[in-house]
Amino acid sequence: MPNRQIAVNVNFAYLALDNTCAMREFCHMDKSTPNRIREFREEAEMTIEELAEATGLSVSYVSRLEKGERNLSLRNLNLFAHALDKRPHDLLLEDRSDDRNVVAVMGRIAAGAEISPDEEQVPPEGLYEIETPFPIPDDAIAFEVSGESMWPRYDPGDIIICWRQSVIPEEVVGWEAAVKTSDGSRYLKRVLRGSTQGTYDLESHNAAPIRGVSLLWVAAIQSVIRSGQWRKMNSSQRHSMVRKMMNAR
């Protein structure tokens, strides 16, 4: 099965080789920010059906991406760039006035156990905030790997970045994702189709699989920040950064 972490790292490396600005552009893409997919599709005289076929995505999904109604993941960014014969960062807009290198950590993950603490115990602003080495979109959240039980997949202290906005489970089948099951449990698992329609199996390294569960929330993994590449922010640092961001506007 595909390795989500390797795939993500490969995509980040691809963008970095093209242009460091591309990394900056992508990391700040969110659901309210339009992209240039439709512009380049029409320039190439392609129908939306032809573009969907070229990328392997559905027509409705491509339409929502064109309208900026869905996040444009790194994987899809490269798919569209190849289909439209453009560089990945060409698909992204240049105006990024709200750059922020801060993301809230919403829980800790260890082996196949649930993400802790319980969601009800996590304040809206998260357990704490960290400063990251690249800009983070407003709708991103993070989870910290706790202990060594997830090695060799992840090291203790690694930060896993996900979108807060849920996607449909079918979009992440075969990949790792942060999920919330119908009983309220949260996990970082590889999502597979279950034996009955509408259910899914959850697998992870060093843990028994969970079979036939319904998913209420599914957050695709967008990147992994290695231990030592991020810094926990205290309240005074956070207030200082907020003032800096406000003064820059």
118 has a pLDDT exceeding 80? yes
Q: Per-residue confidence at 33, pLDDT binned at 50, 70, 90?
A: low
Q: Residues 119-131: pLDDT tens digits?
A: 888 888 889 999 9
Q: Per-residue confidence at 236, pLDDT binned at 50, 70, 90?
A: low
Overall size of the chain counted in residues = 249
Mean pLDDT of the chain: 78
> Is the model more confident about 67 or about 111?
67
Q: Residues 131-169: pLDDT tens digits?
A: 988 888 778 899 999 877 677 778 889 999 998 888 899
75 has a pLDDT exceeding 50? yes
Q: What is the pLDDT of residue 7?
A: 41
Q: What is the pLDDT of residue 110?
A: 80
Region 50-58 average pLDDT:
93
Q: Per-residue confidence at 32, pLDDT binned at 50, 70, 90?
A: very low
Region 72-93 average pLDDT:
84
Region 171-183 average pLDDT:
92
Q: What is the pLDDT of residue 144?
A: 93
Q: Residues 211-225: pLDDT tens digits?
A: 999 999 998 888 899
Buried/exposed code over 106-131 (b: 16+ C-beta within 10 A; e: otherwise): bbebbbbbbbbeeeeebeeeebebbb
What CA–CA distance (Å, rounded) separates 7 from 183? Answer: 30
Q: Per-residue confidence at 26, pLDDT binned at 50, 70, 90?
A: very low
**3-state class of 113 per DSSP?**
coil
Q: What is the pLDDT of residue 237?
A: 53
Pairing assessment for the beta strands 200-204 and 207-213 based on DSSP bridges: antiparallel
What CA–CA distance (Å, rounded) separates 184 from 49? Answer: 38
**3-state class of 4 per DSSP?**
helix
Q: What is the pLDDT of residue 94?
A: 55
29 has a pLDDT exceeding 70? no
2 has a pLDDT exceeding 50? no
Q: What is the pLDDT of residue 125?
A: 82
Phi first, then psi, for residue 182 (nearest 5°) are -65, -20
Q: Which helix (H) or strand (E) holds 65?
A: helix 59-66
Q: What percent of the chain has pLDDT over 70?
A: 76
